[in-house]
Structure 1
Amino acid sequence: MPADDRVSVAYEAALSGDVASVRGQPGVRPLVAASWARSLRRGLDPDRPHTEVAITHADLVGQRSRSPLAAAMPVVRDLLVDAVADDGLIVALSDGFGRLLWVEGNRRVRDEVGRIGFVEGAVWREDVVGTNAPGTALATGRPVQVVGPEHFTRPVQAYSCAAAPVRDLASGRVLGVLDVTGGAPAASGVMLALVRASAAAVERELARLTRDDAGPHAGPRLGALGPTPTLRLPGSPAQRLSLRHAELLTLLAEGPGGSTADELAVLLAPGALSDVTVRAEISRLRRVAGPLLDGGRPYRLAVPLATDVAEVRARLASDDVGGALGAYPGPLLPRSVAPGVERLRAELEADVRSAVLRSADPDVVERWTARREGADDHAAWDRLARLSPPGSAAHARARGRLTLLDRALR
């Protein structure tokens, strides 16, 4: 039996509820079987991809301009778009949420896939559309090729696709997914290798641009959001910080007037530290931060220090909630138990959450519910249910999660 036929038989068996028998069946890759199982558990419709474009063109343009991937689009066009368009293929680049920000390439194929919802602005995560290369690459965090009948929804089975995540090399965070979609050429091993190489080239280009941004005229910047704190000094690439050094710089950035050793001791530890310990920590920090610290007392910064915390606040102040979410990769120094940091962490998360719950943009609310902080946020799921069109995938997902949360509360 041809390989495609074996996959089709296994696919129908999986849809009938016999998922267990599909695992290990000849011709069915474990990655595909696992993705089918996830798609079935989510109750996705195999006959229609429930893609949504709940975003205006103006908002799409804004998201593109804010995306770090925008700077790498010339590389994508040179390496992929120009190379594959004549072969009846298209190239898509999504953000880390799974939204297709750019879809370029062969015009005929773009029109064809547009009829199944593969268009700029649409979300093609696996939990929305089922097994597909860009969505499954985002779900698994690794390069994926999905060939014809391996797709979960039948209308997509006319196409093949190869995709690879694009990461920030400094932090490892997935920024988006690079994908090639079309006919038989997209199913080749050569195409998957080309996509992987192109994604790696994009990562290197973004890293180069980051180094250039850290030139002699760029000011110092503290990255304290998420699990890996970093400090970038003028003329140098970003360096990882110890948790204690990140705590000190965060507290000093929040109090530009300076803090005494006694004040820092109370802010740094639940039981307070000794003055001697604080002075020793500051001394070690000077070896890392150099001229960033003033030489006198009380302890203060010698020059302004930009922080990602301040960027999130600025975007919230200008009512750019989507931009604030994009600049908020995670809680402030999540491993810290310093009382001063815990207070700032709680305040910032509360500010972001409040802005999300006030937002009238269902995409913003859905992005919050997709995060760890929003996964069990009853108010956010309720807001998403109210904002999403009845019958849409987002509305159904929100109603289902509300049912689970209500059951758990009872």
Structure 2
Amino acid sequence: MTNGWQALRRGESALERRRFLERAHERFIGERATRLDGGFDGDRGTERAAESAGLRAVVLDSWMRARRLTVDPDRLPERQAIDEAQLAELQRTHPIGEALAVVRRLLLAEASESGFIVALGDAAGRLLWVDGDARLRARAEEMGFRAGMDWSEHAVGTSAPGSALALDHAIQVLGAEHYSRAVHPWSCTAAPVHDPASGAIIGVIDVTGGDGAASPHLMPLMDATVAAVEAELQLAALRRRMEQERGTRARPSRPTTAPPRLVVLGRDPAMLERDGGALPVSGRHAEILLALAAAPNGLPAAELAHRVYGYAGAEGTLRPEMVRLRRWLEQHATGIALHSRPYRLEPPLRVDAHETLEALSRGAHRLALAAYEGPVLPASDAPVVTELRAAVDATLREAMLQSAAAEPLFDYAQNWAADDARVWETLLQVLPPLSPKRARVVARLEGIAREQ
């Protein structure tokens, strides 16, 4: 048996396993989310359901997450999650870049000889570097596997880099274990990388290729590479501390060109973007930052506590959390100061959800739809989150219905309104009479009618 994280048992035929996975994937995708039967009955528990279906529990659980996130198995990322300037800046400043030499020494040589490619991404699942076999890289780019693209589970469903980040564990994904059909010819092994000081995830290392990229021997090699990378990061931090202790004067820091930015759309956890890269933000801290970002003049403790916890008298619970948040902001050199009486942030904190609402108010529907990655902090029930989540989702839907062109409305319907009959009916009205998309819209409307 595998240990749950490996894709194949030693000696198991990858070809036979691939054929089985194709059938299992088609069966899962073909089932209605509201009526899972047989081995995929989620109510029986993931492990029992996976055992019954012949799947690994981590894979079935990831498929179910992708279904809940309404990830389209026939759609791949088509646009970069970050523009070229942001990518270049992250490549220059992201801490995992300090260990590129280690990755090249331990993985890249074998990858090039074996016909693999190696990718490094940040904690949000965005690929920062992709290297290795040139012909394989060209093929991978056709499915959106290139620097700057988002390969988190929120974007593409099950994949080794995205699932390794979601589960905080090294994992292999073979063929049709990928949620997206276009990735079924590929296999991969990936592992998260942690900050040696804080233990927080800072990135991911991935090896992608044919069946060999999910062979059992790659898992210990990946574990050894991650250990070496984290040791290198620890040594780099130690060298910086020693230089400071010797009184070495640091070069003047580059002026910040933009305030920090909190990314909450479709994210759990949230991500804090700043000049030094991106940091995952725990749920409660993200809720507090979101509340303070909406109140640049600050909030008294009672009001902030109510927005975060949802009940009166929660100030006693809030105050120690504010101490922990202030310490976290300082430890990670975020450039954000947390003041009290009233609680407020300096400098102001941008939020992607607020930017989306601003874009919609200007009529920039395409820009807003491109920025929308899903509901605000989907796992949170804090009042400040539920109110913003409802405002963004309702505003986006109304904007799409009232004045969006056919193309963005079609994207919105596919990705975020799969069961919204009014959206599909409106789309049918605005599509040109000879559009090939009309058949799909009619089929979806018929499906909605049957499901009601």
TM-score (norm 2): 0.58
Distance 1:72 1:30, change over 3 A: same
Q: 1:71 aligns with which of 93, 98, 110?
A: 98
Q: CA deviation at 1:70?
A: 1.1
d(CA) in 1 for partners of 2:392, 2:96: 28
Matches within 5 A, 1:203-352: 203-217=230-244, 315=256, 318-319=258-259, 321=261, 322-323=273-274, 326=277, 330=281, 331=285, 335-336=320-321, 343=340, 346-348=343-345, 351-352=348-349
AA at the equivalent of 2:340: R
Q: 2:141 aligns with which of 114, 117, 129?
A: 114
Q: 1:183 aligns with which of 210, 218, 223?
A: 210
Aligned residues: 310
SS of 1:335's equivalent in the other structure is: helix
1:52 match: 79
2:228 matches 1:201: yes
Where in structure 2 are there 5+ consecutive unaligned residues?
1-12, 41-48, 262-272, 290-317, 327-337, 360-366, 419-452
Any conservation in 2 of the 1:381–1:398 contact (CA below 8 Å)? no
d(CA) in 1 for partners of 2:64, 2:175: 17
Any conservation in 2 of the 1:50–1:129 contact (CA below 8 Å)? yes
Q: 1:14 aligns with which of 25, 28, 45?
A: 28
Q: CA deviation at 1:80?
A: 0.8
Q: CA RMSD in A?
A: 4.1
d(CA) in 1 for partners of 2:223, 2:63: 23
TM-score (norm 1): 0.63
AA at the equivalent of 2:54: G
d(CA) in 2 for partners of 1:206, 1:395: 44
Any conservation in 2 of the 1:3–1:27 contact (CA below 8 Å)? no
Matches within 5 A, 1:124-143: 124-143=151-170
2:408 matches 1:390: yes
Where in structure 1 are there 5+ consecutive unaligned residues?
220-233, 236-310, 401-410
AA at the equivalent of 2:17: A
2:117 match: 90
2:150 matches 1:123: yes
AA at the equivalent of 1:6: F
Any conservation in 1 of the 2:123–2:280 contact (CA below 8 Å)? no
Distance 1:19 1:138, change over 3 A: farther
Q: 1:61 aligns with which of 88, 95, 98?
A: 88
d(CA) in 2 for partners of 1:92, 1:334: 41
Using the aligned pairs only, state the percent identity. Answer: 33
d(CA) in 2 for partners of 1:13, 1:96: 32
Q: CA deviation at 1:111?
A: 0.6
Any conservation in 1 of the 2:143–2:182 contact (CA below 8 Å)? yes
Any conservation in 2 of the 1:365–1:383 contact (CA below 8 Å)? no
Distance 1:384 1:176, change over 3 A: farther
Q: CA deviation at 1:3?
A: 2.7
